[in-house]
């Protein structure tokens, strides 16, 4: 799960940066405001890569997905991109957990098979 979720978060890092470039063209927003908000969101996306397996890591990732969708009020394309990345996040969490469970089953089966093998066969 960690690999899939981290890949999604790194993709979001770049999308947030590009959205910041688009938001800078809004005359109502100062460059300081845009890059403070984008910088915090970009930092959060990188930090979440390390927190995925910790308690609450996935929930914080969902919070970031919500913030990306809400960014659509500033950069309208973010409604679409935020929803797309929320779908990717769901797939990363869902299929990542399935892959982790399959790896655990395989490791348990391999461990049981090696324990049953005679010592001189190794």
User: Using CA atoms, how far apart are residues 64 and 42, in angstroms rounded to an integer?
Assistant: 10
The model's pLDDT over 54-96, given as tens digits with 9 standing for 90+, comes to 999 999 999 999 999 999 999 999 999 999 999 999 999 999 9
Binned at pLDDT 50, 70 and 90, residue 111 comes out as confident
Interior angle at CA 20, CA 49 and CA 33, nearest 5? 100
Q: Is the pTM of this model over 0.85?
A: no
Binned at pLDDT 50, 70 and 90, residue 1 comes out as confident
User: Using CA atoms, how far apart are residues 52 and 36, in angstroms rounded to an integer?
Assistant: 24
Higher pLDDT, 110 or 112: 110
Higher pLDDT, 110 or 32: 32
How many other CB atoms are found less than 10 A from the CB of residue 47? Answer: 12
Question: Residue 19 in contact with residue 71, Cβ under 8 Å?
Answer: yes
CA distances from 81 to 53, 65, 86, 98 (A): 25, 10, 8, 25
Binned at pLDDT 50, 70 and 90, residue 117 comes out as low
């Amino acid at each position: 799960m960690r690999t899939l979720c981290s890949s999604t978060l790194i993709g979001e890092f770049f999308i947030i940066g590009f959205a910041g470039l688009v938001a800078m063209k809004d005359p109502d927003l100062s460059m300081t405001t845009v890059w403070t908000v984008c910088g915090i969101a970009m930092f959060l996306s990188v930090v979440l890569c390390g927190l995925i397996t910790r308690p609450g890591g996935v929930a914080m990732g969902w919070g970031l997905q919500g913030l990306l969708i809400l960014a659509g009020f500033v950069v309208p394309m973010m409604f679409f991109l935020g929803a797309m990345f929320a779908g990717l996040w769901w797939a990363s969490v869902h299929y990542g957990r399935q892959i982790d469970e399959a790896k655990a089953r395989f490791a348990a089966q391999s461990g049981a098979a090696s324990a049953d093998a005679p010592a001189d066969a190794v």
